[in-house]
Structure 1
Amino acid sequence: MSGDRESGFTLVEMLIALMIFGMLAGSSVVLLGFAMRAQETADTRLDGAAALRRLGALMGADLAQAAPRINRAESGEMRPAFIGTRGEAGQPLLAFVRRGWDHGGADERPAIQKVEYRLTAGRLERVAWPMVDGAAPMEPVALVDGVRGLRLRFRDEAGNWHVAWNPEDPTLLPRAVELALDLGQGHVVRQLFLAGSDL
């Protein structure tokens, strides 16, 4: 009888072993949940940083190729070569014609494209047109989400900064554009772009 008792576990020993296993399993679940939340946070931040890099590259390329070309809206109304606003409701933030567009066609169309940047429900979007004059726009492309606020400034040839771009000469382009994005929680991202391909 004593040999049988020495070869097995008592009920108390089994309960202690199960309790230790339960504590280890519970700790593992907590650590796994923490690691998953940390990974999600890192992925979100990396996605946000990648979106800002894409915005900087795309807007930088567009503005560097800005052309002093007056164009027509879909309604036929004449528009200046460069529009830069404070982003009031219904207004584009930026609208201009850019050079260097590869439209992929074999026709004789010039390699220019009308583009516009606008803020819609906290999302910074880029809109492009298939034709510079009188065409309907293509579908907007979302660039950055979660924008709480936005500020633009435009630098003229004399080095002065303006909060909107409306010179007397409708073909005049700014020399530089500053974009400040408020992404909430005290995060303000500033980017500076040169405008015009003659720089």
Structure 2
Amino acid sequence: MSIMSDLNSDLDGEEAYVMHSNVKKRKRTEKMTDIMKKLRAISHESGEDCKCSRLKCFITICSEERQRIIFYFNQLGDYNAQSKYLSGLISVVPVQRRRNRKDEADANFHTFSYSYRVRARVENKLQDVSVCYKAFLSLHGISNRRVQNLKKNLCALGDTKPDGRGKHKNRPHRISDVTKLKVMDFIKSLKGRKSYYCIRDTS
């Protein structure tokens, strides 16, 4: 009888072990803000025709190439990688000559001029094709503000600046590490005492 009970106990232990080993752990999910950033980075859509009479951007670049451009841009999948890609398509040239149509005190002179291009296949050749500003925005499905920030960083730094959104190190009122250490040292210096409502003393 004791042998049968030992066997039953062993079987129960094995079943419990199998059941415990088959339990699936809950997967750690990312923050909703990170997920939304990734979704925005891969969901760009081409805009409307620029109707440019000078460069004729949407006539020079066929619909298949426009789809390929937006597909490749979405495949990058990261905001910083996309910014690097876009900055490589923007040329910054210092202004050599200005036409003073207003007084120097009232005029708003530009220090740099910009040109835009895309990598597209024209006449069975992959080449850089110059496009207007509106077509540059439309082909990549991006906003005017994003390109303005890119141009600002290119002029000031000569390169793109990593995305700083959501980085808490740039908070002006963040508590410094020195202050945190002082608080921790103060808490450790306090003398502990036995609590009146101690669990061990209760019946």
Fold match, TM over 0.5? no
Which bracket does the TM-score occupy, shorter chain normalised? Answer: 0.3 to 0.5
Q: Which of the pair has the greater relative contact order for Cα pairs under 8 Å at 6+ separation?
A: 2
Query: TM-score of the superposition, structure 2-length normalised?
Result: 0.32
